[in-house]
Structure 1
Amino acid sequence: MILFISDIHFGRAGAATERLHEQELVACLRACETAVEGLYLVGDVFDAYIEYRHLVPKGFVRFQALLAEWTGRGVPVTYLVGNHDPWHRDYFASELGVRVVFDALHEPLFGRNVYMAHGDGLAPADRLQRRLRPILRHPVPVRLYRTLLPGDLGLGLARWVKNRFGHQQVSEETITGLREHARRILATTPAELVILGHSHHPEQVRWPEGDYLNLGSWRDERTFGLLDERGPRLMRWNGTCPVAFNPRPSR
Structure 2
Amino acid sequence: MTTLFISDLHLDAERPHITELFGRFLDAEARGADALYILGDLFEAWIGDDDPSATATFVADRLRVVADGGTPVWFMHGNRDFLVGQAFADRAGMAILPDPTVVDLYGKPVLLMHGDTLCTDDVAYQQFRAQTRDPVWQAQFLAQPLAARIAFAKQAREASKAHQSGLASQGTMETITDVAPAAVAAAFQQFGVETLIHGHTHRPAVHALDVDGRPRERIVLGDWYEQGSVLRVDSQGHRLEALA
TM-score bin (small chain):
0.7 to 0.9
Matched, 1:4 2:5: yes
Alignment coverage as a number of residue pairs:
230
**What's the CA shift for 1:110?**
1.3
Match of residue 159 from structure 2: 165
**Alignment partner of 1:218: what SS?**
coil
Q: Where in structure 2 are there 5+ consecutive unaligned residues? A: 168-172
Equivalent residues of 1:48, 1:155 under 8 A apart: no
Q: Hey, which bits of structure 1, 4+ residues long, moved more than 4 A?
A: none
Q: Could you give the per-residue CA deviations for residues 40-82 of structure 1, whole angstroms, max 9, x where no partner exists?
A: 1111111110215xx2241223332221011112211111111
Cα distance in 2 between the residues matched to 1:76 and 1:86: 20
**Alignment partner of 1:88: what SS?**
coil
Q: CA RMSD in A?
A: 2.2
Residues 30 and 152 (structure 1), Cα distance of their counterparts in 2 relative to 1, 3 Å cut: same
Cα distance in 1 between the residues matched to 2:226 and 2:184: 22
Cα distance in 1 between the residues matched to 2:155 and 2:208: 39
Q: Where in structure 1 are there 5+ consecutive unaligned residues? A: 240-251
Q: TM-score of the superposition, structure 2-length normalised?
A: 0.85
Q: Percent identity?
A: 25
Match of residue 83 from structure 1: 79
1:218-229 aligned at under 5 Å gives the runs: 218-229=224-235
**Alignment partner of 2:120: what SS?**
coil
Equivalent residues of 1:179, 1:212 under 8 A apart: no
Residues 94 and 28 (structure 1), Cα distance of their counterparts in 2 relative to 1, 3 Å cut: closer
Return the letter of the residue paired with 1:155.
Answer: I
Equivalent residues of 2:10, 2:41 under 8 A apart: yes
Q: Could you give the per-residue CA deviations for residues 80-124 of structure 1, whole angstroms, max 9, x where no partner exists?
A: 111111112222332222112342111111111111111113222
Equivalent residues of 1:47, 1:159 under 8 A apart: no
Q: TM-score of the superposition, structure 1-length normalised?
A: 0.82
Equivalent residues of 1:192, 1:211 under 8 A apart: yes
Cα distance in 1 between the residues matched to 2:3 and 2:194: 16
Cα distance in 1 between the residues matched to 2:222 and 2:181: 13
